[in-house]
Amino acid sequence: MSYKNFSIETDADGIALVTWDMPDKSMNVFTVEVMDELDRIIDQVVADSAVKGVVITSGKSSFSGGADLSMIKGSFDLLKEAEAADPATAVHKLFDATGRMTWLFRKLETCGKPWVSAINGTCMGGAFEMSLACHGRVASNAKSVKIALPEVKVGIFPGAGGTQRVPRLANAQDALQMMTTGSSLTGARAKAMNLVHQVVEPDQLIPAAKQMIKDGLKPVQPWDEKGFKAPGGGIWTPASAQLWPAAPAILRRETAGNYPGALAILKCVYEGLQVPFETGLRIEQRYFTHILQTTEAFSMIRSLFISMQELGKGARRPAGVPKSEFKKVAVVGAGFMGASIAYVTAAAGIPVVLIDRDQEAADKGKAHSEGLVTGAIGKGRMSKEDGETLLSLITPTPDYASLADADLVIEAVFEDRTVKKEVTEKIEAVLREDAILASNTSTLPITGLAKNSKRPNQFIGIHFFSPVDKMMLVEVILGKETGDKALATALDYVAAIKKTPIVVNDTRGFYVNRCVFRYMAEAYDMLIEGVPAAMIENAAKMAGMPVGPLALNDEVAVDLSYKIFKASIADLGPQSVDPRHMELVTKLVEGEGRLGRKAGKGFYDYPPKPARKKLWPGLKDLYPQIKPEDVDVKVLKERLLATIALEAARTMEEGIVTDPREADVGSILGFGFAPYTGGTLSYIDGMGVKTFVALCEKLATKYGDHFQPTPLLKDMAAKGETFYTRFAPETKKAA
């Protein structure tokens, strides 16, 4: 019997090696077709008396990334179709569909013949749940091995037996930690948790897996044997009496109750450990069906799984432009940002020239990469050889002539129009005719900077976020004359350095910073109103933001806000900045010398480590304080999220952002907009545009006209539209 996605080879010992190797895919993923074939393979090996056991492995460099996009989309499509056809049976159909993988894996583990999973590279989600259903698990000790159940990060949870098998192998605390955080495990850590049996050298993976079967591996799981007890004794033990009352409280502290999928993990484990295994699977299936119907799951899966993959694969790349191959990239400006850009470029295997005014400044820029490499080697994340290779790709120099053969030049000098003009002219004096020139700028409009260029159609903005080596988002900014080749080259470069791009049209602050400035501006309003600073910061975290607006302002620098205000007044007039905000930052910067984290003091004080930062006590003396009991935290949360979402809607109305996927992904990756919402526009769509408009009108009456809903939002509310229907990516692609 032949299969499209698997091959089977039985050796002289009667051990069948099942190799999963999907054609035309860089990584194996679960699809309906893959599950159908695996189902038939189980039947085939059971029926073949010559087969004594099965080893399943991957023919690729990684085992599997889990479920495919089409399967995830299919669950939502099925529910929608079922609700339209027969609402009474819709949930039942979804329940049956979500159980397909669960009961396929159960069939595998009860088939009567031993199965061993031989894990190489990445083994995530459903692929690890399948491995857990195997009777034996062997993992490679290569650094590329990452074992995880990361479903909670996209709004769902391990729903194919993960919540039942993991706590029956590992202790409940470790199991909960792994699943509620979605954290990755090395092979060694997985073995220490009892989730894999052996960790071996990569070339010993298959022999070790086969040896387990030769050594008499039982084709029965521990939980299917009489007298089985979960590690630690299960739920009704003294240890559990300490764990379970604390677990929901810890989860609420970490998530503020915003992630239904994370809470469902606790419920599945707690309830499942008290019943027979198959009953536990039914409990898990029930909760998984429920979670799939939540707004949070739909929005998170769409933005953090589907949209991110689509954008990463070039959804916005112009058609018909040949793909760029980067033999050499140049970065002009070896300060913190430029040095960081050079590092990520070299980390992608691309030779990079790092230019500054003199050799000393250029060498200092390379020293930044040397520091990052040393840190990575020290933490075991990089080998010494890989570090040396990375550093060898960075050439620091003050010589502009070295740009002559660069495919892409990224200007990353000081945020000053005059300086950027001088540098642009120096670059173009030696730049190859077909090369692309990009400016890394966080606020200066690209169209204006392109006026300094002799070829504005080959000039584009590439906005990185700090720290560059950790932040996954890059804003690609189109000037009015930017051509398709420049856009395609920029997107190819972002793909090469393994980051996610969003494409935005030109405006002051672009997309991400416009939203960030609104977030911080609302915090200024709250301070001025007398809301205690601690309540502002805590409300933001309760709303799902990773850091409060005052802490974020310290990170980007309070004096930068001051400079931006002054630049806005100079360019657009005094009406462009709220005078109360100007007064606040002026007092902090000029009056108190509180410039932000870099100065050790801003809205927070930053004492020497290990002491933790704390809010500056002087904040309460700036404005008369409202009593905490008179502050409505729910309203604070609404204000902070709504003001950002409203700004995102404005960028869509103005044509700055044209694709809702980019607004959502950009807001989450760029500044951590409450991920459970799916992003700024999904936040609006999730509650309904009509409801959002009503919320904004209510807030506007009390907190200012900046909350007034825009004409676009009012029109969408009247027509019952959403951003994903009005600006449907699929419709635009077809057009």
Average pLDDT over residues 2-30: 94
Instruction: Note the pLDDT of residue 83.
Output: 76
CATH superfamily name and code, 6-293: 2-enoyl-CoA Hydratase; Chain A, domain 1 (3.90.226.10)
Contact 344, 412 (CB under 8 A): no
* 3-state secondary structure at position 329: strand
Instruction: Note the pLDDT of residue 735.
Output: 39
734 band by pLDDT with thresholds 50, 70 and 90:
very low
Instruction: Note the pLDDT of residue 732.
Output: 52
Closest CA to 247 of 176, 183, 152: 176
Share of the chain above pLDDT 90, in %: 84
Contact 529, 632 (CB under 8 A): no
For 516-564, the pLDDT digits (tens) are 999 999 999 999 999 999 999 999 999 999 999 999 999 989 998 998 8
Q: How far apart are CA 471 and CA 500, in angstroms?
A: 9
For 297-316, the pLDDT digits (tens) are 999 999 998 899 899 888 99
Domain ranges for the chain, please list them. Answer: 6-293, 329-509, 513-726
What type of residue is 317?
Answer: R
Mean pLDDT of the chain: 93
Residue 85 scores a pLDDT above 50: yes
641 band by pLDDT with thresholds 50, 70 and 90:
very high
CATH 1.10.1040.50 fits 513-726, yes or no: yes
Closest CA to 680 of 570, 470, 516: 516
Q: How far apart are CA 483 and CA 485, in angstroms?
A: 6
Q: How far apart are CA 520 and CA 540, in angstroms?
A: 11
| β-strand partners of 147 | 123, 185
For 447-460, the pLDDT digits (tens) are 999 999 999 999 99
| β-strand partners of 122 | 146
Closest CA to 304 of 544, 664, 680: 664
**Cα dihedral sign, 562-566-571-572:** positive
Residue 444 scores a pLDDT above 90: no
Topology of the domain covering 329-509: Rossmann fold (3.40.50)
Instruction: Note the pLDDT of residue 443.
Output: 77
226 band by pLDDT with thresholds 50, 70 and 90:
very high
Average pLDDT over residues 634-650: 98
Q: Output the CA angle 366-367-369, nearest 5 degrees.
A: 70
Residue burial 680-711, b: 16+ Cβ < 10 Å; e: rest: bbbbbbbbebbebbebbeebbeebeebbebbe
Bridge pairing between strands 394-397 and 329-332: unpaired
Closest CA to 299 of 691, 718, 674, 703: 674
Average pLDDT over residues 134-145: 94
Contact 717, 697 (CB under 8 A): no
For 569-609, the pLDDT digits (tens) are 988 899 989 999 999 999 999 999 999 998 999 999 999 98
Q: How far apart are CA 516 and CA 465, in angstroms?
A: 12
For 334-375, the pLDDT digits (tens) are 999 999 999 999 999 999 999 999 999 999 999 999 999 999
Answering whether pTM is above 0.85, one says yes
Average pLDDT over residues 614-633: 95
For 457-483, the pLDDT digits (tens) are 999 999 999 889 999 999 999 999 999
Q: Do 329-509 and 6-293 fall under one CATH topology?
A: no
Instruction: Note the pLDDT of residue 730.
Output: 58
Q: Which residues are catalytic?
A: 463
Contact 98, 30 (CB under 8 A): no
Q: How far apart are CA 94 and CA 279, in angstroms?
A: 18
Contact 176, 265 (CB under 8 A): yes
Bridge pairing between strands 136-140 and 146-148: unpaired
Helices (H), 187-304: 187-192, 205-214, 238-255, 260-272, 277-292, 295-301
Contact 304, 668 (CB under 8 A): yes
